[in-house]
Structure 1
């Protein structure tokens, strides 16, 4: 008798896809909005990203279980729009690799004393080899890294939560009600932290139906949201708002955040756990995203799955982000923000367009849908507006047209 996969198992898959190095940018991006407004921004983003995943499910149900995001988008939206969607997926992958390489160099510099650029080169040389070697190697090291992340996160966050200062957490000496405008600039980073949409087709095939996949996706985004809120509460309850000034001045670099935290955490074990979690999160995300970009480019350029072919794929996957990291180390937070702005295309706009097109076809006499996302056309248009607004907020913040917290007053 064939057993049905559990909802919890699928939820954990989605949560593990969401939770990674992106969450390391949440404290710095949310420092202006602080606790209440940052949590509200995360909740709104989580709801919209769950609904957008459901819209993909609704569009996918008219295709065979093995149909991919690329296949469905090409059929419903045409080759040109699908190519633009694929380009945005690649851009997000590339900019995330750039962010991970830059941050790893800065962290390793603090740990070993090596020059940050040399440390970045060594990081790529060692860990991109795992991706070059095989998917199986990525699988094995990912299991170890995720287990380490769970343990170090639990120990580190519990240590932070046990030392919370409520005056610091809710900035009772300030005026948190005035911090709402800063939440707009946080949305692109929040959106990046809920980017699981490339896994929707796989989850549907895993369950062989949409209803279970729907609940697994909701469970996964709720788990991710809970972890993010615990992370923010732990940090904001220990590190006063004004002490984010040096972190923000360094572009939200993870190394700067860890340095600031080390000044307020009394326990060396807790500080070590958070440092370990941060490095494991970056490494896990690096090889996970690297594998996705590696496979995408191998297919795009039609490189053979041989040693020479994989070397060519390795070069086009890892050398461009490494070169950009060495030449233009703009900072972790800025890169994550750009990734979030670009990700709105395939996490918000394209899912809404796909579901509107799929519903139009169904109305014209095609198969009656088994699964429908709540909210109708209005929700699809709201998702498009949310995506456009999130991207716009990022570019407005870059142009100083939005209030951006610099760590002093405000």
Structure 2
């Protein structure tokens, strides 16, 4: 079978050898953001055991689907992303729909992070939130404009800071975990399983790193190393999610989540609810610091993925001028939207989880199925599992999207505390 001109294998040998830890931290930083901060309220109905099952299942599926993208990309030059690969393999219509979903989710997340950071910096710096948002974008998007290596370096620092602030803040809660609260043994008639379905869309957004897969492949120049970095990143994220949920669910009784859920599950509402068990102001400040670092790391990680994706979409060159153009189309639209509609993302981000199922589950599975149909489909890197795994990943994505819309329509059981 003849291959299109873009189906070429890049044999470039990298002189530099980026660390797997750096790549894993980039992936983890993309995952650990606003999604994590929303997990406690999203999982309040399912509580500890079912929440752990939901996020573990999601982590496994999201890791495998990321590997499927790596396998589909192996026929292409290292600089390509979703746009070129999807267009070649699935056609213009599928590519156009996928483009819309990728940018919608990436843009909405950047929009949310920019707005949230502006509100946080307003309190810290004492300046207008809009000015804070502009400063935030100008300063921290510069790392993305500079290089993936710069993102690597700051991601490692942010992950270290997040771990330290998280450890200090959560340690104050972890040492006081009450097992009867953690497993809700005081409420023998409670029903948990039905609420796990509504949690899946939030769990999926907590592992939505797939727009960074091509960045990892280009960074390492090797699918096998990128595979390890992806697994490392999703494992780090899963571990942090476990610690976070155990610490929250082990201190704040399930029936006291009502006020948190009413206020959208934001960190301030959660800290207010935890006020009775947080005895130290330093612990509360550490959790706030962790939240800020999580938003910043996700902004940079998501920004890198969208940046590389749009560079491929618009065919901008990898020069200072070309990267400046890519920076403009990546960061200016969400910044402008944040300045004009600073609170509109609350509604829009609700649909981001459903939209993300397209490019985190469905498209990767369809791409790898098409890739394996090539004459040399069995050569080189190969994601685990055959047709059954492809069907399972697609099924997980479809069901997650269905659960999301069912929850928004009030069809799924809604936990109110």
Relative to the length of structure 2, the TM-score reads 0.84
Give unmatched runs, 5+ long, in structure 2. Answer: 1-13
Matched, 1:317 2:334: yes
Match of residue 351 from structure 1: 364
> Where does 1:280-319 land on structure 2 (aligned, <5 Å)?
280-290=293-303, 292-293=305-306, 314-319=331-336
Match of residue 413 from structure 2: 403
> Where does 1:97-176 land on structure 2 (aligned, <5 Å)?
97-104=110-117, 107=120, 118-119=128-129, 121-130=130-139, 133=142, 135-136=145-146, 139=151, 144-175=157-188
> 1:112-143: CA deviations, max 9, x gaps?
898xxx53x23312201225656239747656
> 1:51-110: CA deviations, max 9, x gaps?
101111221222234432322222111222112112111111222134334544665677
Farther-moved stretch of structure 1 (228-237 vs 173-182): 173-182
Residue 297 of structure 1, CA deviation: 5.9
* Residue from 362, 369, 393 that aligns with 2:403: 393
Gap change, CA 1:13 and 1:284, over 3 Å in 2 = closer
Gap change, CA 1:368 and 1:376, over 3 Å in 2 = closer
Residue 292 of structure 1, CA deviation: 4.8
Matched, 1:15 2:28: yes
Kept in 2: contact 1:100–1:282 (CA 8 A): yes
Looking at structure 2, the residues matched to 216 and 246 of structure 1 have their Cα atoms a distance apart, in angstroms, of 39
Farther-moved stretch of structure 1 (281-290 vs 100-109): 100-109
Kept in 1: contact 2:162–2:293 (CA 8 A): yes
Looking at structure 2, the residues matched to 51 and 131 of structure 1 have their Cα atoms a distance apart, in angstroms, of 31
Looking at structure 1, the residues matched to 299 and 100 of structure 2 have their Cα atoms a distance apart, in angstroms, of 19
Kept in 2: contact 1:53–1:217 (CA 8 A): yes
Kept in 1: contact 2:211–2:309 (CA 8 A): no
Matched, 1:371 2:384: no
Residue 373 of structure 1, CA deviation: 2.4
Give unmatched runs, 5+ long, in structure 1. Answer: none
Q: Secondary structure at 1:164's aligned position in 2?
A: coil
> Where does 1:42-53 land on structure 2 (aligned, <5 Å)?
42-53=55-66
Residue 203 of structure 1, CA deviation: 2.4
Kept in 2: contact 1:128–1:287 (CA 8 A): no
Gap change, CA 1:275 and 1:19, over 3 Å in 2 = same
Looking at structure 2, the residues matched to 62 and 99 of structure 1 have their Cα atoms a distance apart, in angstroms, of 35
Residue 228 of structure 1, CA deviation: 0.6
Looking at structure 1, the residues matched to 325 and 386 of structure 2 have their Cα atoms a distance apart, in angstroms, of 50
* Residue from 13, 21, 26 that aligns with 2:39: 26
Matched, 1:339 2:352: yes
* Residue from 255, 259, 278 that aligns with 2:291: 278
Kept in 1: contact 2:211–2:306 (CA 8 A): no
Kept in 1: contact 2:28–2:233 (CA 8 A): yes
Work out the number of aligned pairs and report it. 396
